[in-house]
A and B are shown apart, each in its own frame.
Chain A
Amino acid sequence: MIEDVKLAKQIIAKRIAKEFGNDQIVNLGIGLPTLVANHIPPEVNVYLQSENGIMGMGPAPEPGSENPDITNAGGSLVTVLPHGSYFDSATSFGLIRGSHVEYTVLGALEVDQEGNLASWIIPGKRVPGMGGAMDLVVGARNVIVSTLHTDKGKPKILKKCKLPLTAVKVVKMIVTELGVFKVTSDGLVLTEIHKDSNIEEIKANTEADFKVAENLKTME
């Protein structure tokens, strides 16, 4: 296992950034998914959408040029690129629910081999609310789960989610520091593996059943 959490997150973010194509709309969740933005190749123009009402979100502002009226969905100060735009929340969720968003990248408490996702509540313990996550995973064309492979050794990729769901059968891809899984009609398939990992290690840390792709690639 890659023990360095910071490094593990970088591996995940770097891999996910390779998925995006030119002029696609992408929504990145709070935390680990936000790191993906740092790895998008400069030649690829992605429109980062923020559900509080931005298309074409830019990086954090330079010190001295912060504007309290330009924030992301996590409440952090951001910038908007010259080709960006602002809109209200109904328009923002019209973009999301109407399948105009190509990719949504978000974290998970649990994800399972059928593509079910649990990410918003631990009953009796943590009830933050679903925010925009339920709309995002139902509306976006592709749902990518970005997560550390285990929660301190406890598998997060399960046969069946136990926590209340965010949505049913929506996840298409799961990226962890150990590899990449795709959710297919034929079940969960490991398509890429990190160079420092191996199938035995992934099996030992994954509760879900999965197949190994015939053309298993090295995760980069």
Chain B
Amino acid sequence: MFKKLISKEKFADLIKDDMVLMIGGFLNCGTPEALVDIIIQKKVKNLTIICNDTSFPDKGIGRLVAEKMVGKVITSHIGTNPETGKQMVDGSLKVDLVPQGTLIERIRAGGMGMGGFLTPTGVGTMVEEGKQKMTIDGREYLLELPLKADVSLIKGGSVDQAGNVIYNGTARNFNPIIAFAAETVVVEAEKLVEIGNLVPDHIVTPAPLVDFIYDPSQN
């Protein structure tokens, strides 16, 4: 049961150049900051990051951008991180802006076995460019396609040693959804507890979805 606990070194080995990462968090609330620290120390290159927003230049996902480790970002908002905008303009960072509800649903589709979905969001705007349109019951929809990743990095509030996760407040956001959508899922545990200390009724992310647990207090 303890085999899921991962060291700093072993986590660093998992993350490689050119990987596609999904990272939880909404303006840094619910971002696994200790895992981001390890990636920054490893100095990887050309990551593709799928995330709600690119946070701030000195926080979480924003630091990966500021350290120039990101080649492409698929996100809904970059306004709080001037570095993202700067690199987008100079051409060193490709930015794919996606409406927030469409972004999370594309991730959900990727993780939950759907080939895509139809949404009214973006019809008649720049977002519809290049997309298939369908009319259902007289209303126009865009066909949006699923997203998947190599590794998802999630932040758990209380995590047991099997990998069950409960989230705190609004730190939940993208985390339980990206936990479905990657080959490998790593949870950073704010509080790691013994098996049996979480109430099964309260668990949001079931243990088998989580491959590795990182406990910053033990590293």
Stretch from A7-15, A49-57, A196-204 forming part of the interface with B = A49-57
Given contacts A54-B170, A75-B28, A164-B126, contact A132 B79 (CB under 8 A): no
**Contact assessment for A88 and B101 in the assembled complex, using a CB-CB cutoff below 8 Å:** no
Q: Evaluate whether A131 and B76 lie within 8 angstroms (CB atoms) in the complex, with A52-B173, A89-B52 already known.
A: yes
Q: Which residues of A contact B167 (CB under 8 A)?
A: 86
- Measured CB to CB, the closest approach of chain B to A161, in angstroms, equals 11
User: For the complex, is A67 an interface residue (Cβ under 8 Å from B)?
Assistant: yes
Q: How far is the CB of B53 from chain A (nearest CB, A)?
A: 7
Query: Whole-angstrom distance from the CB of B174 to the nearest CB of chain A?
Result: 5
Considering only residues 26-44 of chain A, those with a C-beta below 8 Å from chain B are none
Of the listed stretches B8-16, B64-72, B115-123, name the one at the interface; the rest are far from the partner chain. B115-123
- CB-CB contacts below 8 Å: A67-111 with B: 67-75, 80, 86-90, 93, 96-97
B172 at the interface (CB under 8 A from A): yes
A68→B170 CA distance, assembly (Å)? 9
Q: Report yes or no: B78 in contact with A89, Cβ–Cβ below 8 A.
A: no
Point out the residue from B26, B99, B101 that lies within 8 Å of A52, measured CB to CB: B26
Q: Mark B201-218, 1 if CB is under 8 A from A, else 0.
A: 000100000000000000
Q: Are A53 and B170 in contact (CB under 8 A)?
A: yes
Q: Is the CB of B77 within 8 A of A130?
A: yes
CB closest residue in chain A, given B29:
A71
For window 116-161 of B, CB contacts with A under 8 Å fall at 119-127, 157
The secondary-structure label for the interface of chain B is mixed
Residue of B52, B79, B80, B99 most packed against chain A (CB within 10 A) = B99
Question: How far, in Å, is B187 (CB) from chain A's closest CB?
Answer: 15
Partner of A74 from the list B27, B78, B173 (CB cut-off 8 Å) is B27
B108 within 8 A of A: yes
Is there contact, CB below 8 Å, between B169 and A135? no
Distance in angstroms from A170 CB to nearest chain B CB is 10
CA distance A50 to B119 in the complex (A): 20
CB distance from B73 to the nearest CB of A (A): 10
Contact B101 A135 (CB under 8 A): yes
User: A74 to B55, alpha carbons, bound, how many Å?
Assistant: 11
Which chain B residues lie closer than 8 Å to A168 at the CB level? 123-125
| A158 contacts the other chain (CB 8 A) | no
A-B contacts, 14 of them at CB < 8 A, read A52-B26, A52-B173, A53-B172, A69-B171, A70-B170, A71-B26, A73-B26, A75-B80, A90-B177, A127-B78, A130-B99, A135-B102, A164-B126, A168-B125
Binding site for A on B (CB under 8 A): 26-30, 52-53, 75-80, 85, 88, 97, 99-102, 104-105, 107-108, 119-127, 157, 167-177, 204
Apart from A75-B28, A88-B204, 7 more pairs, CB < 8 Å: A53-B170, A97-B101, A127-B97, A130-B127, A134-B101, A134-B102, A167-B124
